[in-house]
Amino acid sequence: MDHSTLIESFAEFARHKNVDRPTMIRILEDVFRTMIKKKYKTDDNFDIIINADKGDLEIWRFREIVDDNSEDIWDYDKISHSEAIKIEPDFEIGEEVAEEIKLVDFGRRAVMTARQTLIQKIKDLEKDNLFLKYKDLVGEIIVGEVYQVMQKEMLLIDAEGNELNLPKVEQIPKDRFRKGDSVRAIVHRVEMSNGNPKIVLSRTSPTFLERLFENEVPEVYDGLITIKKVFREPGERAKVAVESYDDRIDPVGACVGMKGSRIHSIVRELQNENIDVINFTENLDLYISRALSPAKITSIKVEEDEGRVSVFLKPDQVSLAIGKGGHNIKLASKLVGYEIDVFRDLDGGEIEEDVDLEEFADEIESWVIDEFKRIGLDSAKSVLALSKEDLGRRTDLEEETIENVLNIIKQEFE
């Protein structure tokens, strides 16, 4: 393989990989200098001239002519007079010899090694560029096409054919994608795995919801409305606290849109995730009240030292405050930064304490608790409010199981 064939084939490969000309020249020079060092121990007295467009390569070696008996004759940048006149008879001591080194002088094996090294360097550069590109995109939404669905992850490709990874834990539980589907997600993290960049996406991250709001709500994108806090139970419920710096803009109304036009597209993207948008405020009582919506609170007692809040509600508001699967109260607690305890406020000012069904996990099996939650019963009192017959009709539980649960709950209140 001559030098023109080597350089032309490399240049074509580099252009195919979108490598710019200066980088391509630098890689070529680095590889040839490595060849020179291997054969001549140093490249200090060598010049390399490359014209990648024409496939031209020139390698020149420069040495000073010294007397045959000189002590410097063995220096890398010296040549004896007797050797110099073999190159050009008119050379004299003290002159500089410029000798062109042909690629063939390095041997066929060295040239083939250089070719493999050039290709590998381009591949390494491609990996580095991919890593840096996606490192800058962390937290941003991208679109990928599904090309393989596996048990623990889903592989996608971007517009340039790069592989993206969407683990099962970063997918919304209701997500169902097939090969060829377009998927939106954020770049969650980028890491090197065995020398290859691994781009991990996420659809469950709160940041994904923030970016969707930026896409759908111009006021959020422009910074007129700020998203203060976001917490999610992916695919189930989310709470978003927003604030406007312009008194003329209603942040909640702007985010929801006319007849819910803006929020609906976000809800669809998140597999019908129920999104509560609330107005952020420094007034803690008001903030807690908004966070627990749609439930209406009678009164609030804040215990700052213990990081807990007691909220009192009418009996018919308790299930709304807790929400299906306990998601509403769990997200509200995260949003306000306090543990929230729910109490029933009965007529006459009497307060009835309720107990979350999860508190009975040591005595009642989890699948039984889940069955009650499936029909909206999250607390002990909500279960006791129904008859044994009603519970049997609305759940798939056996009569003996229901009776056992009722006995356990009754003992708690006795």
- Print pLDDT tens along the chain (414 aa): 456 667 777 777 666 667 777 887 888 888 888 888 888 888 898 998 877 666 677 888 999 999 988 888 888 888 899 988 888 888 888 889 888 888 777 878 887 888 888 888 888 888 888 899 999 999 999 999 999 999 899 999 998 889 999 999 999 999 999 999 999 999 999 998 888 899 999 999 999 999 999 999 999 999 999 999 999 999 999 999 999 988 889 999 999 988 888 999 999 999 999 999 999 999 999 999 999 988 888 888 888 888 888 888 887 788 888 887 778 888 999 999 998 888 877 654 555 567 777 778 878 888 888 888 777 777 787 788 778 887 887 787 888 888 888 888 888 766
Q: d(Cα 407, Cα 405) in Å, to the nearest integer?
A: 5
CB atoms within 10 A of CB 192: 11
Q: Answer for the pair 354, 379: CB distance below 8 angstroms, yes or no.
A: yes
The Cα-based distances of 310 to 17, 335, 375 in angstroms read 62, 15, 26
Q: Please state whether the predicted TM-score (pTM) of the whole model is above 0.75.
A: no
Superfamily of domain 281-352: K homology (KH) domain (3.30.300.20)
Cα Rg of the chain (Å, integer): 36
Domains 3-132 and 137-204 share a fold: no
The Cα-based distances of 348 to 30, 189, 314, 351, 414 in angstroms read 87, 55, 12, 9, 22
Joined tokens for residue 271:
């597999």
Superfamily of domain 137-204: Nucleic acid-binding proteins (2.40.50.140)
Residue type, 324: K
Q: d(Cα 367, Cα 336) in Å, to the nearest integer?
A: 30
Q: d(Cα 350, Cα 31) in Å, to the nearest integer?
A: 85
145-148: long-range contacts, CB 8 A cutoff, minimum separation 24: 145/180, 145/181, 145/182, 145/183, 146/177, 146/178, 146/179, 146/180, 146/181, 146/182, 146/183, 147/179, 147/180, 148/179
pLDDT value of position 371: 83
- Within 237-338, where are the H helices? 251-256, 261-269, 284-291, 315-322, 327-336
Token pair 């560029």 in the structure block, residue: 129
Return the CATH fold of 355-414.
DNA polymerase; domain 1 (1.10.150)
Backbone angles phi, psi at 83, to 5 degrees: -75, -35
pLDDT value of position 299: 87
pLDDT value of position 40: 86
CB atoms within 10 A of CB 259: 8
pLDDT value of position 54: 66
Angle at 382 between CA 381 and CA 386, to 5 degrees: 105
Q: d(Cα 107, Cα 291) in Å, to the nearest integer?
A: 76
pLDDT value of position 414: 62
Q: Does domain 3-132 have CATH number 3.30.1480?
A: yes
Domain coordinates in residue numbering, the chain: 3-132, 137-204, 281-352, 355-414
CB atoms within 10 A of CB 44: 11
Q: d(Cα 162, Cα 308) in Å, to the nearest integer?
A: 48
Joined tokens for residue 75:
């220096």
pLDDT value of position 276: 94
Residue (of 372, 305, 380, 369) closest to 342 by Cα position: 380
Backbone angles phi, psi at 298, to 5 degrees: -80, -50
pLDDT value of position 166: 96
The Cα-based distances of 339 to 108, 302, 329, 332, 380 in angstroms read 74, 10, 9, 9, 19
